[in-house]
A and B are shown apart, each in its own frame.
Chain A
Amino acid sequence: MNHQERFAELWADYLEGELDEAGVAGLRELLARDKALLKQAADLFQLHRMLGLVASDDPARREEFVRDTLARLPVDEDQFVVGVMEQVSRQSPAVARADVQPAGAPTAAKFDVKAIAATVVALCAVAAFGWWLRPEAPSQVPPVGTETASTPAEFDADSVRLASQSHARFFGEVSLPVGARLSPRRDYVLMNGLVELAFPAGASAIIEGPAVFRVLTNECLALDVGRCSVHAPDGAEGFRVETPVTRVVDRGTRFTVNVSELSETEVQVIEGAADIYRQMDAGRRSAAPDRGGSAADRTAIRLTDGDAQKFTHVGEFSADTIPFDPHTYRRRLPDRVVSYSATTGEGGAKDLLSVTVQRGGQVVEIPVEELIPSEAIWFKGSAGAYLCGDKTWSGQRRSAASDWSLISGLINPGGSEEPLTSDPVLAADGGTPGMAVRFQRPVVNGPGADVVLFDLQTFANPPEGDAFHVSPLRFREGLRTHTIRVFDLTIESPATLDLADFYVHMFKRPVNSLEELETVACTPQRQVVRFRALAVGINLSDLGYADGDEVDGLFFQDALDDRHYVDPVLVVGLPNRGTAAHSGRRD
C-alpha cells in the first residue's frame, strides 16, 4: 500500500470519527512526511466542511440561524464579556479605537414590566387545564432546616434553552424558535400560550402565559407573575424559582408556582418536597441569586407532596394553607403539530418532507413516505379562486389536492356558519358547500392528532389560521362536527415556513362540483405577497370517534366567521401507531 492509498484509508476513517490513537499518529506521520498530502488533507477538510454547510443551506435553516442569533442579543451591555472585545482592539488596527472602555451599546427598548404584567393579566383570560397524576414514590429528601450555604452554580449564559412551545406569543418580539438560548436576566413577557424551558442540570419548567419571567442562572428562574410547573429530576435538586415574595427551592421533584398580579404566590408540591423561603425585600422584582449574601430569609417552610400554601407579603409575610389541586400541574405541552420540513425552491418551501407531531405525549417525526395521502372526492367552492399551484396544469386539476406540494391544492371551499349535523350531500344537485377528501387507506383514531391539515396564509389573513369545520362523511350516533379556530402552527410560529412562489387560478364563476372545477375557465395569477403554510392536527376523538375507529374520509367547510376562507392545500392522515388494535369501527 503506497502513501496515497494509506492516506485515503486513514482520511476516510478520520472524517467518520473512527480513527484511533494509532491511526491519528499514522495520519500525522504521513502529513509530516509529505507536504503534498498535507495540502490535500487541508483541501479535503475544507471541502468536507463546505459539504456540511451546503447540506444545511435551505431557507428554513438559515432563518432559524437568524432567529437564534437575534435571540442571543444582550439587552444589557454589561452582560457581554468586555474583555473579549478589548482583545480584538489590541489585535487588529482595523477595529481598534484609542478608547477601549466599554462603549454604550445600542440598548433594546425598556418597558415597565409591572405595568405590562398587570395589563397582560387584566386583558388575557387564563385557561385551566386538567392533568391526571400517576402517584409515584416520593424521592429521598434532606432533613428540613435552614438553607445550606452553597456556592452558586457557575452560570453559563447560553445554556438555558427553549425546549418547546405551544402558541407562545411574546410581547414586543417575535416568537423564539425551539432550541433558542434564553438571554440571562432579561425579562420575557409571555402574552399567551406555553413555553417549556430546559435547564442544563436537567430541570424543566413549563410556563403558562400570561407570565413575566427571567432566567437568573442555570439553576434559577424568576417568575414575577404567571404560573410555572417545575420538574427537577435526580441531579437537578436545588433548582429555584424566585418570586416577588418567596424563593422556592426544589428538593425533588415536581411542584407548581403561581404568582398573581398582586404577587401572591401559591406553591403546590406534586411529588417530593420543596422549601419555601421568604424574600427579605419582598415586593420588589425577584432578587438575583446569592452571591455570598442572602436576599432571602434562611428559615424554610417545607412542603411535601400533597401540600399547598399561599404566601403573601402585605405589611407582613404570611403563609396560609390552601386546597391542594394536582390539576394545576402541567406535565407536558399539549399534543400538537410541532413542525414540518419541506423541499425548497424559488424562495421557499415546496413539497412536504416530514411532519413532527406530539401524539399522546410522544414527539415523533413522520416522513412523508409514511403519511396517508388523500384525494378530493367533492368540492363546492365559495367564490373567486379554487386552485393554486403551477401556472398551467397538464393533468386533472383535482390532483392538486393529492400531491405533497404545499403550494398546490384546492382552496376556498364553501362553508357554513353552523356546523353540519348530518351527512354532507356530495352531489351536484343540492350539494353541500365544502370539500370532501378520502384517504388512500383508513386513518385509525388514536391519542393526539390523526390528521394534519395545511392552510395557506399571508400576513393579511388571520394570524392564527382560518377557522373551519371538519365533519364525518357519514354521521352516526356519537359523531359530530368539530370546529378549529386556532392552528398549531400559526403565522407567527417559528416553525412555520415561508412558501415558494405559486399561482392562484381565478375562476370565471363559482364552482359547484369537481367536474366544474375541471371545466370552468380560469386564469392564473401569480402571487406577489409571501405566503406561509400553517398546520393543525385534527384529533378524530374530537369528532366523536372511539379509539381504534377507522376513518375513510372527512368533510371540510370554512366556518364563515370572517371574510377569509380556509385554503386546505394538503390534508394527510398520520400512520397508525401500531399498538392499538383495530378493534374499532370503520367509517
Chain B
Amino acid sequence: MLDAALQRVREGDVAAFSVVVRRFERPLRAWLAAQAPPGVDVDEIAQRSFVAAYTRLSEFALGTSFSAWLFTIARYQLKTETTRLRRIADYHTRYAPDLLQRELERRGGEAPELWTTRIEHLQACLETLGEHLRRFITWRYVEEIPLEEMAARSERSVAAVKKQLWLLRQKLLHCVEARMAAEGGRS
C-alpha cells in the first residue's frame, strides 16, 4: 500500500502523500522527540522532513526501505537545526548544557523503531499509575499549568510538587526500562 501511494504521488496525486504522512508521523515524531535537544521544535522538524521527502521523491527507489530514507532525511534536518541553535551565542546558557546535547547526539544511532516501542511502553506505564499520581502528569504535560497551580490543586508546597514530579519521572523511567528489558530490547 505504501509503494502504491508513493507511486501515485509521483504521478501527481498530492493527496496520496497523506498515506505516507499518516504511516510515519508517529514513529518519526517519537524518534525526533527522543533525539532532539532542548530548543528544537519536534513537529517543525518532522514536517520539514516530510516536505523534503515529498520534494525529492523521484530520487527514492521504490521497493527499498522508505523508512530508512525518511529517517535519514530527518537526521539531517535535525542536525541542521541543532547546528543553527548551537550557533546562537547564548544557546547553552538558555537551553542546554553542551554535555547533555552531546550525549543525546551520541544516542542518535539507535534504531528509530525502538522509540515507537518505548512510547507504547510509556503509555502502558502511565495507565498503571493511580489517579492521585497520574493527575500530576496530566497537569504538567496535558494542561501545562505552572507548578504553583499544581501546588494549589494538590494542597502541597511547590517544593513537594517538584519532588513528586521527580519521583514520578523516575518511576516511569524504570517502568519503561523494565518493559524494554523484558521484551529483550535495549534500555
| A-to-B contact residues, CB < 8 Å | 8-9, 11-13, 16, 21, 24, 27-28, 31-32, 38-39, 41-55, 57, 62, 65-66, 68-70, 72-74, 77, 80, 84-85, 87-88, 91-92, 94-95, 97, 103-109, 173
| B residues in contact with A41, CB < 8 Å | 100, 103
Q: Is there contact, CB below 8 Å, between B69 and A53?
A: no
- Least CB separation from B40: chain A residue: A49
Check B154 for interface membership: any CB of A closer than 8 A. no
A24/B97 contact (C-beta < 8 A), A54-B122, A62-B26, A84-B52 known:
yes
Instruction: Please pick, from A16, A53, A69, the residue contacting B119 in the complex, using a CB distance under 8 A.
Output: A53
Q: Is there contact, CB below 8 Å, between B56 and A103?
A: yes
Question: B90-103 CB contact bits vs A (8 Å, 1 = yes)?
Answer: 00110001111001
Q: Is there contact, CB below 8 Å, between A94 and B97?
A: no
> In the complex the two chains form, what is the Cα distance from A92 to B115 in whole Å?
22
> In the complex the two chains form, what is the Cα distance from A390 to B68 in whole Å?
43
Q: How far is the CB of A6 from chain B (nearest CB, A)?
A: 12
Q: Is there contact, CB below 8 Å, between A38 and B99?
A: yes
> In the complex the two chains form, what is the Cα distance from A517 to B45 in whole Å?
53
| B residues in contact with A50, CB < 8 Å | 30, 33-34, 115, 118-119, 122
Check B86 for interface membership: any CB of A closer than 8 A. no
| B residues in contact with A65, CB < 8 Å | 21, 25, 29, 43, 46-47
Q: Is there contact, CB below 8 Å, between B58 and A104?
A: yes
> In the complex the two chains form, what is the Cα distance from A53 to B119 in whole Å?
9
Instruction: Please pick, from A16, A32, A42, A52, the residue contacting B147 in the complex, using a CB distance under 8 A.
Output: A16
- Least CB separation from A51: chain B residue: B141
| B residues in contact with A77, CB < 8 Å | 55
Q: Is there contact, CB below 8 Å, between A48 and B21?
A: no
Q: Is there contact, CB below 8 Å, between A69 and B58?
A: no
Chain B, interface size: which category?
35 or more
Q: Is there contact, CB below 8 Å, between B56 and A105?
A: yes
A49/B33 contact (C-beta < 8 A), A95-B72, A107-B12 known:
yes
Instruction: Please pick, from A31, A74, A92, the residue contacting B55 in the complex, using a CB distance under 8 A.
Output: A74
Instruction: Please pick, from A12, A21, A53, the residue contacting B93 in the complex, using a CB distance under 8 A.
Output: A21
A-B contact count (CB 8 A): 172
The residue in B10, B15, B55, B126 that gathers the most chain A C-beta atoms within 10 A of its C-beta is B55
Check B181 for interface membership: any CB of A closer than 8 A. no
| A residues in contact with B157, CB < 8 Å | none
Instruction: Please pick, from B54, B137, B162, B166, the residue contacting A51 in the complex, using a CB distance under 8 A.
Output: B137
Q: Is there contact, CB below 8 Å, between A87 and B76?
A: yes
- Least CB separation from B90: chain A residue: A21
| B residues in contact with A13, CB < 8 Å | 162
Instruction: Please pick, from B11, B21, B162, the residue contacting A69 in the complex, using a CB distance under 8 A.
Output: B21
Q: Is there contact, CB below 8 Å, between A54 and B126?
A: yes
| A residues in contact with B98, CB < 8 Å | 28
Q: Is there contact, CB below 8 Å, between A85 and B55?
A: yes
Instruction: Please pick, from B33, B54, B107, B162, the residue contacting A73 in the complex, using a CB distance under 8 A.
Output: B54
Q: Is there contact, CB below 8 Å, between A70 and B169?
A: no
Q: How far is the CB of B3 from chain A (nearest CB, A)?
A: 15
> In the complex the two chains form, what is the Cα distance from A12 to B161 in whole Å?
10
Check B151 for interface membership: any CB of A closer than 8 A. no
Q: How far is the CB of A169 from chain B (nearest CB, A)?
A: 16
- Least CB separation from B176: chain A residue: A47
| B residues in contact with A92, CB < 8 Å | 72, 75-76
- Least CB separation from A103: chain B residue: B58
| A residues in contact with B119, CB < 8 Å | 50, 53-54, 57
Q: How far is the CB of A480 from chain B (nearest CB, A)?
A: 42
| B-to-A contact residues, CB < 8 Å | 9-12, 14-15, 17-18, 21-22, 25-26, 29-30, 33-34, 36, 38, 42-43, 46-47, 50-52, 54-59, 68-69, 72-73, 75-77, 80, 92-93, 97-100, 103-104, 107, 115, 118-119, 122-123, 126, 137-138, 140-142, 147, 162-163, 165-166, 169, 172-173, 176
The residue in B46, B97, B118 that gathers the most chain A C-beta atoms within 10 A of its C-beta is B97
> In the complex the two chains form, what is the Cα distance from A55 to B126 in whole Å?
11
Instruction: Please pick, from A51, A106, A173, the residue contacting B12 in the complex, using a CB distance under 8 A.
Output: A106
Q: Is there contact, CB below 8 Å, between A106 and B14?
A: yes
Q: Is there contact, CB below 8 Å, between A62 and B25?
A: yes
Q: A42-B104, A70-B14, A95-B73 are in contact. List 7 more A-B contacts (CB 8 A).
A: A9-B162, A50-B118, A53-B30, A57-B119, A69-B25, A69-B46, A94-B72
Q: Is there contact, CB below 8 Å, between B104 and A108?
A: no
List 19 A-B pairs, Cβ < 8 Å: A12-B165, A16-B162, A31-B100, A38-B100, A47-B172, A48-B169, A49-B33, A49-B42, A50-B122, A53-B33, A55-B141, A62-B26, A65-B21, A70-B17, A85-B52, A85-B56, A94-B68, A106-B11, A106-B54
Q: How far is the CB of A304 from chain B (nearest CB, A)?
A: 42
Q: Is there contact, CB below 8 Å, between B141 and A54?
A: yes
| A residues in contact with B172, CB < 8 Å | 47, 51
- Least CB separation from A88: chain B residue: B76
Q: How far is the CB of B85 from chain A (nearest CB, A)?
A: 15
Q: Is there contact, CB below 8 Å, between B9 and A106?
A: yes
Instruction: Please pick, from B47, B162, B176, the residue contacting A12 in the complex, using a CB distance under 8 A.
Output: B162
> In the complex the two chains form, what is the Cα distance from A107 to B137 in whole Å?
44
Q: Is there contact, CB below 8 Å, between A31 and B54?
A: no
Q: How far is the CB of B103 from chain A (nearest CB, A)?
A: 4
Instruction: Please pick, from A8, A12, A31, A107, the residue contacting B97 in the complex, using a CB distance under 8 A.
Output: A31
Q: Is there contact, CB below 8 Å, between A80 and B52?
A: yes
The residue in A51, A74, A97, A107 that gathers the most chain B C-beta atoms within 10 A of its C-beta is A51
Please list the 5 inter-chain residue pairs (A to B) with the smallest Cβ-Cβ separation, ordered nearest first. Answer: A55-B141, A28-B97, A49-B33, A12-B162, A42-B103
| B residues in contact with A48, CB < 8 Å | 169
> In the complex the two chains form, what is the Cα distance from A70 to B17 in whole Å?
8
> In the complex the two chains form, what is the Cα distance from A458 to B92 in whole Å?
51
| B residues in contact with A45, CB < 8 Å | 38, 100, 104
Q: How far is the CB of B109 from chain A (nearest CB, A)?
A: 13
| B residues in contact with A16, CB < 8 Å | 147, 162
> In the complex the two chains form, what is the Cα distance from A107 to B9 in whole Å?
9
A46/B122 contact (C-beta < 8 A), A12-B166, A24-B93, A38-B100 known:
no
> In the complex the two chains form, what is the Cα distance from A46 to B169 in whole Å?
11
Q: Is there contact, CB below 8 Å, between B57 and A105?
A: yes
Q: How far is the CB of B6 from chain A (nearest CB, A)?
A: 10
> In the complex the two chains form, what is the Cα distance from A132 to B123 in whole Å?
52
Q: Is there contact, CB below 8 Å, between B25 and A43?
A: no
Instruction: Please pick, from A51, A57, A80, A106, the residue contacting B58 in the complex, using a CB distance under 8 A.
Output: A106
| A residues in contact with B100, CB < 8 Å | 31, 38, 41-42, 45
> In the complex the two chains form, what is the Cα distance from A27 to B173 in whole Å?
20
Q: How far is the CB of B83 from chain A (nearest CB, A)?
A: 11
